[in-house]
Each structure stands twice: as structure tokens, then as C-alpha cells.
Amino acid sequence: MLNRLAMRARGGVGGALLWALLLSVVGMPLLLLVAIAFNGGNPTDIPPTQLGAGGLVRLADTNLSWIRNSLVFASSVTVIAIVLGSGLAFLVTRTDIPGRGLLSVLVILPYPMGSMVAAVAWSVLGAPKSGMINSVFGMMAGRQVEWVNTYSVPGIIFVEALVCTPVCFLLVQAALRSMDGTLEESSTVLGAAPIGTALRITLPLMLPSILGAALFTFITALSAFAVPSVLGRSLDFRVATETVYQLMNSFSPDYPIAAGIGLVLVLVSTVLVLIVNRVLRRRSYAVIGGKSRAARPLRLGRWKPLAMVFGYGYVLLAVVLPLAAITVASFQRSNRFNLTRLDWTFANFRYVLFEYPQTRDSVINSITVGVATGVIGVTVATMVALSVDRQRRTRQGGAAMEALAMAPQIVPSLILSVTLLWFILILPFRLYGSLGAVLLGFCIVFLPLAYRGMAGVVSQVDPSLQEVARTLGAGPARTTANITVPLLSNGLVATAVLLFMMSLNEVGAAIMLSGPNSSVLGPTLYNFYDSGGLSMVSALAVTQVLIVFVAITVVRRISGRWLNV
Amino acid sequence: MALFDSSDGLSRRRLMQLTVALGVAGLGAPMLSACGDDGAPTTSTDAGAAPDPEAAKREGALVVWHNDQEPDNVKLLAEFTKKTGIEAVQQKIAPAEALTKLQLELRAGVSSVDVFLSSPDVHHQLQQQGALLQYNSPDSGKYEPQYKSNPNGFWSAYFINVTPMVYIPTDVPEAVAPKTYEDLLDPRWKSQIVFPPPTSATGFNWWYMLRDLLPKDYFDRLREQQPRSFPSSTAMLAELSNGNKKIAGSMSVFAVTKAKRANEPLTFSADARGIPTSLNSIALMKSSKRPNAAKMFADYLLSEEGQRFWNDMQGSYSAYPGIVVPELPDIKTLKLLTATDFSTYGSPELRKEFQDLWSRVVGLA
């Protein structure tokens, strides 16, 4: 009894410290966002000096087309990414499509490559007059054609969807792997075709994971900045993040309107979360039973060629063509090049690798911050996940702490970066201008992703193992080191690697927090796009992709040796 | 209603800081904060005194904010380091973004920038706030009065940014190329024109210098042409090069110099009424932690040697007498429209008027 009380007391102190941590590093920036939105005084003042709804009133008076544009953009991206991601997950998990193992790896690659690289690549590939794809079609047609145009609304939706597809793929694939395969086998035995089985059996059972992936993709697309910003510059189609960027970077920045836009997006995201939760509560989707087992792959039969076009077509559009485009562009002497007039040179790489100091600094800083974000982010997320799990098991709630940990996900990182800048400036110790500021920003922005990853792992661990250790006299530190960490090790490393990859490409959160002594790859590439020219920025993009791939390979090798990741 | 009254502001701020500190301590932030700069200058210096080269080397890497083409600035800093042994780092940052960030930094007392390369109106604003260091470089006496602050020492022009209409002659034949600003309203150029964005100092200068010269309905008619904005000369040039657009309504003339040096076709046309021209100026921050290094950088950039290096590389006209750019016509043969009174030039009201108007013109509002 005394032992249990002592454990509860220790848990109480730990829980209080965790609450303090979350309230200060997550709650405070969100509170600052609300404070800015309700600044009734000078709109350029940070912190605000007067409360009022003037900013929100001015927001209502402005051109609100960004709301419609953002909803159209995010919805379209979500639909395409879900169709592609779910279809690809089904193909590699449930069918006998040739090269399943390779395909499952290739499909994920656009995620670590990042949206900025995709935007640069598709500016090379899909420009209406000079784009490589139109050039090839033009050579085949014997005249100039403009059949492909990524500098258009459908174009930016298409490119963003290619970037978002891997997340949908991973989320749906995880659920497919857990599903009882006998249900689909029964359908096949009863004579249903693969497509029929997929639509009538697999799809309905996958609804929770598909809706979850759709929600995640929709919110991600609402926050998208790089692709609309690079490819949508000449369009009458401003999404929320671009509008915010314009408002923040004008000579008389209107922070209340920018923060108000952030609050509108928070509201939209919150309503969607509630709707999805309500839909999922209406019926049971239990698919993991005690007698369930993995399914044998469905035989595609005559559908195999179509499935291969679908699967490898995505890889072609999302991986092969973009990498080929930036590679060719990076070796060109002039920005004014086309496929009939190539002029090869190493000068761009010489400049980017040896003369441009930001490359070296950004690479070192990005890897440092990436590793630190992985370690710290996963540590905090695991503490939160364990605490929420414990509260749920003891029926003490946990929903509030979980909501707070997930809150940064529904605020676009570009908007959050302004409040983070203010937050970091008012800290009682000097963090601004250092890499620590970027790290703190990344830890906050990626906390929802880390929590999502660790919550799933923690929920699968039987708490009785830790209780037994405590009962046998082990202290919290020893229990954590000997029981909890080994049980969570695979999930810890996988989530840390995910955070590492995300932090290497992040633009929005870093754009206000990085400085000359703390440059990281995302903003460096974004800024270089405006002043370096297409050939040079392609060389930097190729360099970034290589770094990401090498880093991932090294991390997987190291972690795999010990942890079988 | 006051959110943070001065009467109780300290205690609320303290409370906020304590709450924040409690959480961040858990992330090991104190250790990370050691990576940043401390708040005080690393060496003491008299504001107007000549720099001490040895002290400058000890001050650490000089931080330069600019909005030049990044490769140009990187080369400039490398040359400065080669000449002086003083390390320097650069950050490309748009003027409005820089001003926003700088104001936040100054309010928090944690500014990291030493040298701010921007425009006279921005520098004038900072000068009025008392944020600039007054320092006269040895060569500043050689610059004409219109190329430096009054009183002298707060900012000086390091290049003259002439911004004419620019096009690729192989895409736009000389016969149909625009010769006047009204020619941009020709229906053949509908959806074919690029301009700087509403946040651009160059764009603001273009509007400011022409607004009284052009017909009152000019900007409404220009809007009907559906021009689009791009954030830099490089981005605008990319649009011309890839054939998406035909005319840059206003582009820095150094793009033409660079194109000629690369044997690429690019030329400009000048309306007889004049070409809007702005200055790009250097200013030193009073909050600089590397004042000696900052002064040495200003000395170098404003010297004849520094100006020759910069203008040979970057391709703009110099404010230093006697320095010419061979690829461009003599600056004396061009009629330039340049602002001289910066007290009203960069006022928030004018900025707002331009941003609202220009956002509509280029389809951002």
C-alpha cells in the first residue's frame, strides 16, 4: 500500500513537471498567438499593448479568397494523396505486385526529400514553355507544346499531393499490416475480384486509418508553404500561408490579421477533428482479433499491369523525374537551358560545395539540430505518451494533456514561428540567434508527430512489467532504463529518425528563427531559390537530397545493428 | 484595455519569464543558449573613432544582413576577409522582413546584426530611432551629398540601383519593345509583365518616383494588364528566360550587366522622362557587438578598392566618382529619378498606400 502511494506521489510530481513543461513550451506560444490576434493597438506591436478585436475586424474586411483557396487546395491535395497513398499501401501490403519490397521503400522517398526540393524540381520539369516535360513532348510532336503546367492551380495541387502521399501510405499501411487477412481471403474464396475485395472489404475496414491520414494530410496541406510559394507566384490563387507571409513581411506588418488567419485555420482543423471523431464513434472497426493472421497476397492476375503503372508511375513522378530534373539542371552553365541546348559544367557544385559557406554551416547545423530534435522530441513525447497512457489506465483523464501535446499540429508552422520568435525573445536567458532557438522551435512544431508515433508504441506495452519492477524495489530511473526503454526501443528509434528527416526539410518554422550563425537547410534552400538562379539552386537541392539519403542510411545502419529497425 | 501596463508590466513579464523558464529548463536550453551571443559588445569602442584592426579580429565573425544576390554578397565578404583577416557571415533577408525582425530584436535588446545593407529610407527610419552608429569612413568625403545621410555618417550608398524596363531582345523585337511606361499598357503585354512585389524597396521606389509623372488612372490600367510580382531580379529573370513572361516593368540593371558578361541576350529601355533609381546603402548598428569589425567593413566597401571589386562583380553603377561599368551606358547619359528627401519618402502612410495599391495591381489582393 505504502509502495503504491509512493509511486503515485512520484507520478504526481512527474506529472506536474510535465504539465509545467508543456504549458510553458507549447501553451505559451499558443497563448501568444491568441494575444497577437486580439491586439487592439498598433498592429506592428509585439507584444501587443492593448486588447481588442480590431485585427479580426480588419481581417473580415480584407479579401478572404485565401479561405476558399486554402480549402480548395487542402481538400484537393488530401483526396489525391489519400487515393495514391491508400492504393499504394494496398498494393505493397496485400497484393503480389512485382518488387513489393523495393516499391515500399521508393514510395516513402518523397517524404525525406521534402517539399522545397519537389517545388524546385517541378519548376524545372513543369514550366509551361521551358519545362523539360513539354520540351520532350515538343520534340515528339515537332512543335512547341504547353501540355504540362505546374505553374497553375492544378499544378501546385498535384506537386503538393505527391509530397503528402508517403504519409498517407505509411499510416494506411500500418493499419493494413495489423488487419486480419482472413476477411479478404474469405472474399476471394467466395469469388470476388481483387478490386471488389479491396472496395468492399478492405476499404470499409480501413476507414479509421484512412480518415486519420486524410485529417493529417488536410492539416499539413493547410500549412503548406514551399510549393504554393515557389510554383504559385504568378497565380491569382493565394493560400493562407502565403497571405500570412505577405502580411508578416510587409513594411507595416499586420500581425493581428496574420494571427487571426492562424486562428481561423485552428478553428477549421478543430472542427474537422471533432467530425472525424464523431464519425468513427458511430460503429466498430475492430479488425485485430485473437485468431487473426497475416493474409496471403491477393493475386492481381490481369490487373497486374495496371497496378504496376499505378505503383511505379507514382515513383516515376515523385522520385525519378524530380531527381533527374534537378540533377540535369544542376550541371547546366545557364539558367536559360532546355533539353536541345545543354551546356554541362561542374561550376554550380563547385560554388555550392566549396565557395558558398552557408552549405557547410547549414549541413552541420541541420544534422546537429536534426539529431537533437530526434532525441529531445522523442524523450518529451515518450514522457507525455507514458503519462497520458497511465492517466487513461487509471481513469484519471489524459485527454487534456494529449490535446495540448497535439495542439501545435493545427497551427501552420509559419504562423507559429512568429509567436516562437517572440517567445524566444522574452526568455530570461539568451537563446535567440543560436541553434538552440531553432531546436526549441522544431521540438515544439514536431511534438505532435513525435507524440503520435510514441503513443501508439506505448499503448502496446503492458504496464504490469514496469509495476513488477517497481514492486521488486527498482526505482523510477532503473525501471525506465531496464524495462521501459528496451520495450519501446524500436518505436523510439523509428520516431527519432522520422523527426530527424522532418527537421532537415522544415522551412516554415525555421524561416524566422534561423540566423547567420544558425542557418539550416530548409530556409537556406528557400532563400537561395530567390537569388541563386535555377542551376545553382538545383545543385544545392541535389546536395540536400544526398545528405538526407546518406544520413538516413547511416542512422538506419547504426540503429538497425542494435535494434532491428 | 491595457494588456501589459507599465505599472505592473514588470511583474507580469517576470511571471511570464519564470513560467517559460521552468519549461525550457527541461529541454536543457541553458546549455544551448551558450551557443548564442552574449548581450554586450566584445570590445569597447568610441562610436565615431577609427577602428582598431586587432580588436576587430578578436570580436568574432561580423554579421551582415543584406538583400543583394546572395552569391555576390558571399564573394564580397570573402574578399573582405582576405583583405583584413576578419571573418564575416551574411544573411539574405528582404528589407521588410529585416525591419520586422530588427524591431523585435531591438525591443528585446538582443540584436545580432552588425552591418545592415538596405536602403536609405529604411536607414533613415532607424536613424530616427537612434538605432544606427554614426561613423565617417575615410573615403566618405568623396561621395556626393545625395549619396549619404544628413548629417553624415549614418548611411552611405554602396551602389546606385537603376531599375529600367528589361526584356530579352530575341523574345521581344526592338520594334515592339516598350519605350515608355504607357507602352506597358499595350494589350499585347497582357499577362506578360513581371514586377517586384509590394514588399520590395525597388518596387516602392518605382511607384514613388512615377506616381506624379504618370496619368492618374495609370495603375488601374496597369492592373488590367495582370502583371505578376516576383521577389527578386533573379526570379523575374527566370520568368523571362523560361518564356513564361516577356517584360520586366522594373528590374535592377545589374541583371543586364551580368547577362552581357555571360553572353546572354538581355537589354533595357529607358523612358525619356527618366528611370526610377534607388540607392542601396550601408549602415552600422549602434547595438553592434563587433563595432571595430563593422567599421572596417564600411571602410572597405566604401573605399575605391571595395567599390571597384563590388561593381566589377555585381554590375551596378557606383556612387564613388570615376568608377564605370563597361557593359552599361555612362550613367551621365541616363535621366535618373532619385528620391532625396527621406523624411517623407519612407513614411508608414506612403508604404501602406503603395502596398495596398500594388497588392491589387499584381493580383495579391
Write out pLDDT tens, residues A484-493: 788 888 778 8
Looking at residue B190, its amino acid is K
SS3 B117: strand
Question: A5 or A409: which carries more pLDDT confidence?
Answer: A409
For residue A111, what are the CA distances in angstroms to A170, A501, B41?
Answer: 10, 8, 43
> Does residue B64 or residue A389 have the better pLDDT?
B64
E strand or H helix that includes residue B337: strand B336-338
Residue A352: pLDDT over 80: yes
Q: What is the CA radius of gyration of chain A?
A: 25
What residue of B is the nearest CA neighbor of A443?
B27
Query: Percentage of residues in chain B with pLDDT exceeding 70?
Result: 87
CA atoms within 13 A on the CB side of A383: 21
Nearest to A49 among B4, B241, B363 (CB): B4
Residues facing residue B280 across a β-bridge = B159
Strand order in the sheet with B165-167: B228-229, B193-195, B247-248, B165-167, B267-269
Mean pLDDT of A289-302: 67
Between these two residues, B10 and A50, which has the higher pLDDT value? A50
Q: What is the pLDDT at residue A446?
A: 92
Round the average pLDDT of chain A to a whole number and report it.
83
Asked if A231 and A186 count as a contact pair (C-beta separation under 8 A), the reply is: no
Q: Which of B33, B171, B287 to mutate: most A Cβ within 10 Å?
A: B33
Handedness of CA A485, A487, A489, A494 (dihedral sign): negative
Confidence of residue A562 (pLDDT cuts 50, 70, 90): very low
DSSP state of B183: G
Report the phi/psi class of residue A392: left, alpha or beta, with left for phi > 0 and alpha for psi in -120 to 50: alpha
Cell 495603375, residue located: B219
User: Alpha helices, DSSP H only, in A342-484?
Assistant: 347-350, 357-393, 399-406, 413-425, 435-445, 447-459, 464-471, 476-479
pLDDT (tens digit per residue) in B158-174: 999 999 999 999 899 99
Residues on chain B touching A528 (C-beta within 8 angstroms) = 70
Q: Are A202 and A303 in contact (CB under 8 A)?
A: no
Tell me the three cell numbers of residue B133: 552608429
Grid cell of A290 as nine digits: 485473437
What is the distance in angstroms between the Cα of B185 and the nearest Cα belonging to chain A? Answer: 18
Count of C-beta atoms within a 10 Å radius of residue B4: 17
Written as nine digits, the cell of A270 is: 478543430
Looking at CA atoms only, how far is residue B29 from chain A in angstroms?
7
The reported pLDDT for the residue numbered A276 is 79
| Contact residues for B192 (Cβ-Cβ < 8 A; gap 6+) | B245, B246, B247
The rounded distance, in Å, linking the Cα atoms of B85 and B73 is: 17
Q: Tell me the angle at which helices B304-314 and B291-302 cross, rounded to the nearest 10 degrees.
A: 70
CB contacts, 8 Å: B293 with chain A = none
Across the interface, whether the CB atoms of B16 and A49 are under 8 A apart is answered no
Chain A residue at shortest CA distance from B262: A334
Question: Can you say how many angstroms the Cα of residue A262 is from the centroid of all Cα atoms in its chain?
Answer: 18
- Calculate mean pLDDT across residues A508-514: 81
User: Which residue type occupies B143?
Assistant: Y
For the cut 90, the answer to whether the pLDDT of residue A285 exceeds it is no
Q: Which residues are CB-contacts of A510 (< 8 A; sequence separation ≥ 6)?
A: A417, A438, A441, A442, A520, A522, A523
Inter-axis angle of helices A357-393 and A521-531, to 10 degrees?
Answer: 140
Most confident option among A51-65, A82-96, B292-306: B292-306
Question: What value does the mean pLDDT take over residues B237-264?
Answer: 88
Residue A522 near residue A114, CB atoms below 8 Å: yes
Phi, psi of B79 (to 5 degrees): -65, -40
Contacts of B199 in chain A (CB under 8 A): 246, 249-251
* Contact by Cβ (8 Å): B275, B164: yes
Give me B325's grid cell.
561599368
Which residues of B fall within a CB distance of 8 Å from A151? 244
Dist CA A141 CA A135 (whole Å): 10
Most confident range (mean pLDDT) of A199-213, A384-398, B74-88 is B74-88
Mean pLDDT, chain B, as a whole number? 85
The Cα of B41 is separated from the nearest Cα of chain A by a number of Å equal to: 15
Closest-CA distance, A511 to chain B, in angstroms, reads 10
| Cα angle for residues B249, B251, B254 (degrees, 5° grid) | 155
pLDDT in tens, B261-296: 888 889 999 999 999 999 999 999 999 999 999 999
Predicted confidence (pLDDT) at residue B205 exceeds the cutoff of 50: yes
Q: In this complex, which of B22, B237, B364 lies closest to A20 when CB atoms are compared?
A: B22
Quick one: how many helices (H) and strands (E) in chain A?
A: 29, 0
Kindly state the average pLDDT of the residues B92-102. Answer: 80
Nearest residue to B282 via CA among B113, B128, B169:
B113
Q: Determine the Cα–Cα distance for residues B37 and A431; give it in Å rounded to an integer.
A: 8
CA distance A347 to chain B (A): 13
B49: which 3 cell numbers? 573613432
